[in-house]
Chains A and B, each alone.
Chain A
């Protein structure tokens, strides 16, 4: 008896897995019971340390009244979502609250409904939705030039949720046997009036857009249009296809008619040009046998500024900064700040970019741990941003991410003129 107990203790000590193997697993029916309602949410804390570049143009623009060498930001995010379903109808609401505190900007809070819509699904072939939502058109990872309706996503954090627009949509789906397996059509109506989507474009318009999706010869194909309205006419297409099981290729092409772009000429005078522009993206996603995922994308932004345009802008900021230093007059800097919101301050303001992202899933057998590095390269001025990160999702519903940013470039280049040289960020997010 004593011998058996000793043997059992040795087994428990040295072979816990063997003991676990005999464990009986439970699956309670309550876990799969469907309730008509759902409540959930997400809470996030995200401290960020910025190490600033005091010679950079955007530093001078942002901090001319309050110079500093570092900036610590405390960011918080709180999202609540709920849904209710009855028969063929359902409603879904998701709110988002962003909190920010820094010694520079003090505290701020913004709450918005990101999604809030009602759905009717009379059959698997038909769906009707009205309310605030996002469409997320396009196949690109970092950029989506054919996403004509949504707010632009952050190419440095493309998975972040974005606020939707109020619209009415419909989905019609048909399946077939043969090379064309799926056809679907999604028409969209986006009204723009006072207090309704008033940041979308020109007011008092009803905008029509749509997407046709085909799964043809194992290739995803989308044909997209947005008619002239609050924004000028846009047309585009995208595709995605697996060349092999572990090698995917995708692309987007967009044509924007009569795009109007404000710009500063080399004399510092504000001008505007109207032209038809083409934007495009081509990318690959590859997975090795040892779970290294590579995403490589080239993006041409037809609505972007040339290297000369950006030089003029940075030169204008420097002139404004010198004037402020000499006279205390910050009018030029105010104009430059307005231009930043008008286009120069976009997340990808220039014409040609290359993004490379390498992520290694669970190296050294560390489950749920994913280190990654992302390189954003501006092909027009050869400046770049390198972002290494570590992601751990091993604790149920908790996501931990540590990230750094190394922002490099000479004077008059996009990343060389960014306000910060380095950025360190920790994000702890909890889903409930």
Chain B
């Protein structure tokens, strides 16, 4: 009898979660984080265990599901560098070297805990399928699986604020469920134009013990771009979009 009551209680508690369409929820999370096409200014801060910091300021533009480009504005040593992502293709253009070279999502153009996939992230719904959705401590917990082998993380565990449909925390995992890093979404901010989202993403990783990286958004604005902006030939000209 006791077993039946426990089963029924568990079932009843879990039931509302199954009523949620995980795919729609993930798409909603994407749209709440960013418009489909937009420009943004971000600062990345790498913090070492002794508190020493290194900062990078970037201007980024995104269009549709698979096009994103970013330009480094500071520090002086990185100014003018640009990155481009077209689906699974990624390039880095360094002004002195001149020609764009192919880079991978697991590399990091800034060092620290953020890798290129974090810096040039596409919509989660473009890269991941929802494997499961449940409720955890009053939030949704989405279990996501990468659609292809080329995605940086095989699995994600995403905690979503139930009222706002915005991520609170994301754990990035390998196929064997080993934790690579955790992203914490903080400081809800109204960016105008109906965009209300966390202005700070912090990350730490068991692979970089004691290190932390932070991404701060200063401005996010809906904007449309021509496809030609997202090409190798255009990479040196990204500053003219500002």
Q: Which residues of A contact B (CB under 8 A)?
A: 16-17, 20-21, 25, 27, 29, 31-32, 34, 40, 85, 90, 121, 123-125, 127, 134-139, 141, 158-161, 171, 173-175, 181-182, 184, 186, 213, 215, 218, 220, 240-242, 244-246, 248, 250, 285, 287, 289, 291, 361-362, 365, 367-368, 393-394, 396-399, 431-432
A32 to B216 CA separation, bound complex (whole angstroms): 13
Q: Which residue of A173, A218, A240 contacts B231 across the interface (Cβ within 8 Å)?
A: A173
* B231 contacts A184, C-beta separation under 8 Å: yes
**How many residues on B have C-beta within 8 angstroms of the other chain's C-beta atoms?**
66
Which residues of B87-106 are within 8 A (CB) of A?
Answer: 87-89, 94, 96-99, 101-102, 104-106
Please list 24 pairs of residues, one from A and one from B, whose beta carbons are closer than 8 Å in the complex, sorted by A's number.
A17-B49, A25-B216, A31-B73, A32-B59, A124-B237, A125-B228, A141-B101, A159-B97, A160-B96, A173-B228, A174-B228, A175-B227, A213-B232, A215-B86, A218-B88, A218-B89, A220-B232, A241-B102, A242-B88, A242-B89, A367-B111, A393-B111, A394-B52, A397-B75
Q: B41 an interface residue at 8 Å Cβ cutoff? A: yes
* A136 contacts B228, C-beta separation under 8 Å: no
* A159 contacts B77, C-beta separation under 8 Å: no
* B228 contacts A175, C-beta separation under 8 Å: yes
* B226 contacts A215, C-beta separation under 8 Å: no
A237 to B133 CA separation, bound complex (whole angstroms): 50
Which residues of B71-126 are within 8 A (CB) of A?
Answer: 73-77, 79, 86-89, 94, 96-99, 101-102, 104-108, 111-112
A31 to B56 CA separation, bound complex (whole angstroms): 11
* B43 contacts A27, C-beta separation under 8 Å: yes
* B210 contacts A173, C-beta separation under 8 Å: no
A29 to B57 CA separation, bound complex (whole angstroms): 11
Most buried by B among A365, A367, A398: A367
* B209 contacts A136, C-beta separation under 8 Å: no
A158 to B101 CA separation, bound complex (whole angstroms): 13
Write the chain A residue with the least CB distance to B53. A396
Q: B143 an interface residue at 8 Å Cβ cutoff? A: no
* A184 contacts B49, C-beta separation under 8 Å: no
Write the chain B residue with the least CB distance to A88. B240
